[in-house]
């Protein structure tokens, strides 16, 4: 398995903003250094509807991963937390930041059920202490042609899934997101059959790269990024990473995800990043990295499996990755 490295703080340190921002400076990439004062200034630009309800995010202590690290500068927190797809709060990229302050994240539980010997329900305290929290810096690629590099905080999803003892009938894992009718204005849209559902093959879900995620940039997840717990699957397009998860279900047959139901001609089950397979309405050969010199930054070539081919290509040996898109 290949390893990517960047300068890391001592393992005893909590990952504060200056640490991940220094990586950006070290790589001599254009950007404004973020300090606590800068963050305060950034909050001043948040739409007024969410400003009144915005509170400082709690720190989420973690240890920098020794295996899953990346020698690329992190996307500025302001960009990563204000340019999002979270359709429960609207279709515009600014809608999640504008409206997600209404999301009720406490109390929160995840139930795990289906083809398992020991179904269980976990609250957030149990989830955060189930396994050591790591900071993992992952590339993230959106099917729309933009990308980010984000320091996530969590642990391999497999640590949670093993707790319920999947049976021999379990072939796939389905993830169900929250539906809060009074708090999610985007639910009025009929473009998606709510709740939002995603799915992985069992071996994909159990792969060590697949992250059960409870934080980013050393803090708990902002609401607009999928609080309080979400999935991160870095070799797939971003919509595979279900947000605000309330249930995980082991099933025998391949589940139909929300986008497969909505637009089956455009979104398949696997949704691996593949620059050789164009979306029906645009190419996937290049991408624009958010936070890099705005619209004038040159596009990057999209990497197969988002650059994680050494780790995950073996999962798809013998498969036609054009047919299984």
The yes-or-no verdict on residue 7 having pLDDT over 60 is no
> For 83-87, what is the mean pLDDT?
96
> For 222-251, what is the mean pLDDT?
98
Give the integer Cα–Cα distance in Å for 113 and 121: 9
- 24 lies in a domain? yes
More confident residue, 4 or 157: 157
- 279 lies in a domain? yes
The yes-or-no verdict on residue 4 having pLDDT over 90 is no
Give the integer Cα–Cα distance in Å for 25 and 256: 43
Give the integer Cα–Cα distance in Å for 136 and 158: 16
DSSP state of 69: B
Given this model, what pLDDT does residue 171 score?
Answer: 98
Confidence of residue 54 (pLDDT cuts 50, 70, 90): low
The yes-or-no verdict on residue 11 having pLDDT over 70 is no
- 8 lies in a domain? no
The yes-or-no verdict on residue 20 having pLDDT over 50 is no
Do you know the residue count of the chain? 325
Task: Indicate the number of domains in the chain.
Answer: 1
Given this model, what pLDDT does residue 197 score?
Answer: 98
Q: Are 66 and 8 in contact (CB under 8 A)?
A: no
The tens digit of pLDDT for each residue in 128-165 reads 999 999 999 999 999 999 999 999 999 999 999 999 99
Given this model, what pLDDT does residue 233 score?
Answer: 98
- 7 lies in a domain? no
More confident residue, 16 or 249: 249
Given this model, what pLDDT does residue 297 score?
Answer: 75
| 220 DSSP β-pair partners | 215
Q: Which residues contact 209 (CB under 8 A, 6 or more apart)?
A: 68, 156, 233, 234, 235, 308, 311, 312
- 178 lies in a domain? yes
- 3 lies in a domain? no
- 323 lies in a domain? no
pTM: 0.83
The tens digit of pLDDT for each residue in 288-309 reads 999 887 667 789 999 999 999 9
Domain containing 38 equals 17-316
Given this model, what pLDDT does residue 310 score?
Answer: 97
> For 70-79, what is the mean pLDDT?
95
Backbone angles phi, psi at 310, to 5 degrees: -60, -30
- The 10 Å CB-count burial string (b at 16+, else e) for 110-139 is bbbebbbeeeeebebeebbeebebbbbbbb
Given this model, what pLDDT does residue 298 score?
Answer: 85
Q: Which residues contact 100 (CB under 8 A, 6 or more apart)?
A: 50, 86, 89, 222, 223, 224, 227
Q: Strands 230-232 and 211-216: what pairing?
A: antiparallel
The tens digit of pLDDT for each residue in 263-281 reads 999 999 999 999 999 999 9
- 6 lies in a domain? no
Which range has the worst mean pLDDT, 54-58, 71-75, 228-232? 54-58
Which range has the worst mean pLDDT, 14-23, 210-219, 236-245? 14-23
Q: Which three-class secondary structure state does DSSP give residue 99?
A: helix
- CATH code for the domain of 41: 3.90.420.10
Given this model, what pLDDT does residue 36 score?
Answer: 32
Q: Is the Cα dihedral 240, 246, 250, 256 positive or negative?
A: negative
Distance of CA 118 to the CA centre of its chain: 27
Given this model, what pLDDT does residue 294 score?
Answer: 64
> For 66-86, what is the mean pLDDT?
94
> For 74-103, what is the mean pLDDT?
97
The yes-or-no verdict on residue 62 having pLDDT over 60 is yes
Given this model, what pLDDT does residue 143 score?
Answer: 96
């Amino acid at each position: 398995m290949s390893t990517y490295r960047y300068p890391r703080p001592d393992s005893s340190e909590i990952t504060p903003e200056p640490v991940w921002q220094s990586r950006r400076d070290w790589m001599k990439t254009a950007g404004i250094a973020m300090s606590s004062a800068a963050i305060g200034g950034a909050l001043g630009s948040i739409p007024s509807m969410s400003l009144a309800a915005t509170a400082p995010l709690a720190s989420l202590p973690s240890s920098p991963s020794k295996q899953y690290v990346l020698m690329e500068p992190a996307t500025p927190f302001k960009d990563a937390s204000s340019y999002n797809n979270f359709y429960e709060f609207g279709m515009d990229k600014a809608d999640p930041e504008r409206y997600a302050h209404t999301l009720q994240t406490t109390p929160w539980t995840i139930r795990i059920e289906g083809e398992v010997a020991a179904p269980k329900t976990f609250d957030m305290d149990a989830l955060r202490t189930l396994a050591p929290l790591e900071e993992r810096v992952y590339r993230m690629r959106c099917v729309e042609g933009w990308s980010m590099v984000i320091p996530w905080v969590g642990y391999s999803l497999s640590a949670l899934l093993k707790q319920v003892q999947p049976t021999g009938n379990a072939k796939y894992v389905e993830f169900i997101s929250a539906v809060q009718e009074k708090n999610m204005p985007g639910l009025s849209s009929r473009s998606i059959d709510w709740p939002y559902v995603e799915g992985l093959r069992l071996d994909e879900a159990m792969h060590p790269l697949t992250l059960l995620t409870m934080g980013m940039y050393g803090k708990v997840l902002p609401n607009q990024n999928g609080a309080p717990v979400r999935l991160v699957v870095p070799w797939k397009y971003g919509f595979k990473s279900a947000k605000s998860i309330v249930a995980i279900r082991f099933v025998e047959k391949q589940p139909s995800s929300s986008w497969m139901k909505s637009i089956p001609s455009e979104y398949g089950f696997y949704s691996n990043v593949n620059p050789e397979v164009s979306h029906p309405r645009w190419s996937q050969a290049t991408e624009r990295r958010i936070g890099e010199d705005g619209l004038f930054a040159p596009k990057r070539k999209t990497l197969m499996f988002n650059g994680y081919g050494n780790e995950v290509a073996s999962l798809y040996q013998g498969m036609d990755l054009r047919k299984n898109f």
